[in-house]
Amino acid sequence: MLIEDGTGTGNRAKVDAYNRLTTRAIIETEKSNATDNGDSYNFNSGLIAITATSGLLYFKNNEDTNFVIDDIAVGVGQGGTASDLGVITIIKNPTTGTVISNASAADINVNRNFASSNVITGLLYKGASGTTFTNGTDAAILYQGEGRLFASLGFELAKGDSIGIKYAPNLSAGTRNVYAAIVGFSKEA
């Protein structure tokens, strides 16, 4: 049997002495492929000055394809007097709360492929000091003081699923600037 190129160039596949077909392949991650195709995104709340527990970022996937959240970042500036480390809570499928009802657009919603004009179909809101998520299920709890937390979580949202990020700064006095970010991509169907 002979394996020939189907495009008519006459190229043939090489088989070695052990009857193995010789191939060359480029292997890339699903995230890298999505970025190449213009289906990878960065969402960011922008800086929010908070004094108490606050919902920071909300995203609801309205795409027909699933959305994979590779990474979540929360940055916490200096300021205020903290009695303990802050607590980040990732909330699965929140549908109510002032982050959602206030519907303030997040500061950054950008395609990670700068040459792509693709946009995500979904809801993307940022919170403010004291805004809330009042339902949903806690999916992860993380500690963070000053600095930036970058967590690779690998959550996947089907159409209609949502995620919320809230931060409890444990401040006894003062204000802190914080932000929340989601890095992810739409999966190929």
pLDDT over threshold 80, residue 6: no
Does residue 119 form part of some domain? Answer: yes
Q: Is 126 a member of any domain?
A: yes
Q: Is residue 88 part of a domain?
A: yes
Asked if residue 14 has pLDDT above 90, the reply is: no
Q: Distance of CA 113 to CAs 4, 36, 121, Å?
A: 36, 7, 17
CATH of the domain at 92: 2.60.120.380
In a domain, 31, yes or no: no
What pLDDT sits at residue 71?
Answer: 96
Tokens at 114, concatenated:
């700068």
Write out pLDDT tens, residues 19-47. Answer: 888 888 888 899 999 999 999 999 999 99
Report d(CA 48, CA 178) in Å as an integer: 5
141 against 10, higher pLDDT:
141
Give the domain extent around 136: 41-186
- As for how many domains the chain has, the answer is 1
Q: Which of 186, 132, 143, 136 is nearest to 162 (CA)?
A: 136
Count Cβ atoms below 10 Å from residue 80 Cβ, excluding itself: 17
Q: Could you tell me the CA-to-CA distances from 23 to 5, 6, 12, 15, 17 in Å, in that order?
A: 13, 16, 11, 9, 14
Q: What is the pLDDT of residues 57-101, one digit of tens each?
A: 999 999 999 999 999 999 999 999 999 999 999 999 999 999 999
Q: What per-residue confidence (pLDDT) applies to 23?
A: 82
Predicted confidence (pLDDT) per residue in 113-138, tens digit? 999 999 998 999 999 999 999 999 99
Neighbours of 123 (CB within 10 A): 15
Residue 99 falls inside a structural domain: yes
Decide if 124 is inside a domain: yes
Selected residue with higher pLDDT from 16 and 112: 112
Q: Does 3 reside within a domain? A: no
Tokens of 34: 């999505």
pLDDT at residue 1, as a whole number: 61
CA dist 103 and 77 (Å) reads: 25
Pick from 179, 89, 72, 188: which is nearest to 134 by CA? 89
pLDDT at 53: 97
Residue 6 lies in a domain: no
Distance, in Å, from the CA atom of 73 to the CA atom of 113, rounded to the nearest integer, reads: 19
Contact 67, 56 (CB under 8 A): no
pLDDT of res. 13: 83
pLDDT given at position 16: 86
pTM (two decimals): 0.87
Q: For residue range 131-183, list pLDDT tens digits in order.
A: 999 999 999 999 998 889 999 999 999 999 999 999 999 999 999 999 999 99
Q: How many CA atoms lie within 13 A of 178 on its CB side?
A: 33
User: Rounded to whole angstroms, how far apart are CA atoms 46 and 186?
Assistant: 22
